[in-house]
Copies of this chain bind each other. A is one copy, B any other.
Amino acid sequence: MRVAEFDREFVLRQAMLAFTQCGYAKTSMQKLTQVTGLHPGSLYAAFSNKKGVFLAAIEQYQTDKNQQFNAFFCNNAPVLPNLRAYLALVVTECLGGDSMKVCLLTKSITEVEGQDSQISKVLSDNLNAYEQAIAFQLNRAITQHEITPNRSAQQLARFFAMGLYGLRTYALTNNNAKDINQLADDLFSVISN
């Protein structure tokens, strides 16, 4: 008996980056062997096929992003400044030149919509969970009287998620820092009023 040698997290993070940069269709197995350092046989032994690599990479992405998000709210500070700080991170990513400019989940669901319902479901489940995480924080903000909105935390979170998806797409059409920051300010003020 022999144990697998490769570092699963490293492999999936590398795959994650490749899928983010090239998209699902254009990320070839050859490219995945290059960035992961694994040979085709090993990749297929571990993940069955390209779709298996993708789904595993999505899972890793979700884990990483979830941890990143929660890190903004694990202090004892009020919710809203934390949420504003998180929004500032997204703005930084939008304005940066690297692959973090786009969200792997929204990019992928846009690509595979109507082509693979299993992948679509995984992606929408993950994005719904993201919205729920935002709703949880906004609910805390309401409970702590940081905001007294005329909408539910759920509705606010939905609007905020929509805004984030739109912000990332918009930044692809206009990468002007002032404009993106303005949009983020406007989005935040809709939530925090």
Interface string of A97-111 (1 = CB under 8 A from B): 001011000110111
Q: Does the CB pair A155–B186 fall under 8 Å?
A: yes
CB contacts (< 8 Å) of A186 on chain B: these are 151, 155, 159, 190
- Can you name the residue of chain B whose Cβ is closest to the Cβ of A20? B114
> How many identical chains are in the complex?
2
A158 contacts the other chain (Cβ, under 8 Å)? yes
How distant is the Cα of A167 from the Cα of B186 in the complex, in angstroms?
A: 16
Q: Does the CB pair A158–B170 fall under 8 Å?
A: yes
Contacting B at CB under 8 A, from A44-78, are: none
Q: Which 6 A-B pairs have the closest CB atoms?
A: A166-B166, A162-B166, A165-B169, A25-B25, A127-B173, A165-B166
**A interface residues with partner B (beta carbon < 8 Å):** 21-23, 25-26, 99, 101-102, 106-107, 109-111, 113-115, 120, 123-124, 127-128, 131, 151, 155, 158-159, 161-167, 169-170, 172-174, 179, 182-183, 186-187, 190
